[in-house]
Structure 1
């Protein structure tokens, strides 16, 4: 799918402001941004739930214009899947298959793929949020989509459910399905997506490979746990390039953990110095993941820039 210059407003509230997006077959593309950034509106456009005010949208090789339905092969959900709580999981999918003119042959397979075959005959009203999300994914699988659009598919999932969903999406992408998903979970984006688009106040502030976004993070705070905290503190304090953390100067200490701020090369120097002094490094990890740090920095910069343009946006 390809979008060029998409705009959408609800009254005087601008939801999308000149958004460009391209997702190829077999690609899992993530949408991320703060609440109100325009993610749900963009997903709704891709599913044909609303129409853009301006710009061009092409889905599965066909232009989408006002009054024209999306081509077959597009599936997904926004704001959670639409389900009948009084029906069982199997009955929900059976009803959907009949509406599409299909038989129930693929229902059991879809339920098995998302790990719900064992509760197929339980009423949906008793399902947890994560189970409902997985049932919504099963409903989308019935149409064998070429473009799958999902709004927070990992919402409410436990680790086993998340792994199940990840396997399904990875397999679909391997078969050539283009997947577009939104998520507030940076770990999901890092694990699933090859590319990501970051929206803020209706505009794109980054679009490209996930690794490129993570690499854009500036200095990060790191937790350092060693076999000799006292010696590590002395060595860290003498390592050039370690930044000053808020609320103090030099490396800060939390129990047996040192908190240091640095870029990658400075960390390499620190580890070399520690090992050379016979201090064992047991943990060295960012306090905030690089992807999340880049997200916070870019969205904050976008909010400042938007505020400097006046109060036209709401």
Structure 2
């Protein structure tokens, strides 16, 4: 038998009074996939994550989690873990005591055997016996992830998991999520940081005013964006500018930048025109020292899609 999707939602709608938080949302998340959820404030991200964790129920539509239909609150199947709006922790307890208490609440004494391992995975071994009240935001996020790991989840739902993380903490968290996905766990995470989503996620869903503006592979999203702005640093800016003018599809900006006294060209181009421009630079023996989008493809497409949908309201 084929493995059922971790999440399959069709037409999810959720009201809070007269406010439409979700408006006909479709969503598919496969096992082993890290799926990003992005959107402006008030787009419905937290509401959707809450439905996946069983904290609320949709007013209409269907939701299946790990192959099980979910039609009421607190009815998600075993194997779902995560947090929304930050993990719930006991500040007067140590990190270890928090995890032990959560394991006891679940009624599974065997899970306490994994506490040291879970703490180690998120990089908190050195503070395992410290009280949580003294933890930074990033340390609390990592402890919340450790709590979720105790259940050995098949679907992990995380709300802004990189909040407050320093580079070392982010490395630990990213490593954990990547290993979980490699072992078949589906990860659904929301983030305001496009670089986090691009580095971690294979697929993304963009919400705008409660509706899906896009869902699918990030590579497809980037390719659908017709034109991006790029900054280009070469060994010969004057020659590069000349070639840019001669390449169909390349638009030169007047507001060039200067980096360490060297001129950077700013161009707008679709991918085929950019490829042709790079080919010409190489053929003319002009070294390319930097070529990067001014904003990431995901961020550019995100802004375009959300602005378009809001203008259609």
- Fold shared, TM-score > 0.5 on shorter chain: yes
Structure 2 residue 186 is the aligned partner of structure 1 residue 171 = no
* 2:256 corresponding residue in structure 1: 253
Q: How does 1:64-143 map to 2 (within 5 A)?
A: 64-66=70-72, 69-103=75-109, 104-143=112-151
**How many residues matched?**
301
CA deviation after TM superposition for structure 1 residue 241, in Å? 2.2
Aligned-residue Cα RMSD (Å) equals 1.6
* 1:233 corresponding residue in structure 2: 241
Change (3 A) 1:69 1:275: closer
How far apart, CA to CA, are the structure 1 residues paired with 2:252 and 2:19? Answer: 41
* 1:284 corresponding residue in structure 2: 291
CA deviation after TM superposition for structure 1 residue 65, in Å? 1.4
Structure 2 residue 24 is the aligned partner of structure 1 residue 18 = yes
CA deviation after TM superposition for structure 1 residue 299, in Å? 0.9
Per-residue deviation, residues 145-204 of structure 1 (Å, max 9, x unmatched): 111111111112122222211111121122222211111222222222222111111001
Q: Which runs of 4+ in 1 moved over 4 A?
A: none
* 2:14 corresponding residue in structure 1: 8
Tell me the SS of whatever aligns to 1:51: coil
* 1:193 corresponding residue in structure 2: 201
Which of 54, 64, 67 is residue 61 of structure 1 equivalent to? 67
Per-residue deviation, residues 8-32 of structure 1 (Å, max 9, x unmatched): 0111111000111121222221111
How far apart, CA to CA, are the structure 2 residues paired with 1:120 and 1:52? Answer: 38
Per-residue deviation, residues 43-99 of structure 1 (Å, max 9, x unmatched): 000111111111111122221113562222111000011111222111111111111
TM-score of the aligned structures, taking structure 2 as reference length? 0.91
Tell me the SS of whatever aligns to 1:144: coil
Per-residue deviation, residues 234-259 of structure 1 (Å, max 9, x unmatched): 332343322254xx4xxx42221111
How far apart, CA to CA, are the structure 1 residues paired with 2:43 and 2:283? Answer: 48
How far apart, CA to CA, are the structure 1 residues paired with 2:230 and 2:308? Answer: 23
How far apart, CA to CA, are the structure 1 residues paired with 2:73 and 2:127? Answer: 40
Tell me the SS of whatever aligns to 1:160: helix
How far apart, CA to CA, are the structure 1 residues paired with 2:73 and 2:169? Answer: 38
How far apart, CA to CA, are the structure 2 residues paired with 1:71 and 1:235? Answer: 59
Which of 215, 223, 229 is residue 221 of structure 1 equivalent to? 229
Question: Which is further off, 19-28 or 194-203?
Answer: 19-28
How far apart, CA to CA, are the structure 2 residues paired with 1:272 and 1:209? Answer: 27
How far apart, CA to CA, are the structure 1 residues paired with 2:43 and 2:9? Answer: 17
Question: Which is further off, 30-39 or 98-107?
Answer: 98-107
* 1:271 corresponding residue in structure 2: 278
In 1, are the aligned partners of 2:31 and 2:185 still within 8 Å (CA)? yes
Tell me the SS of whatever aligns to 1:90: helix
Instruction: Name stretches of at least 5 consecutive residues in structure 1 with no aligned partner.
Output: 307-314
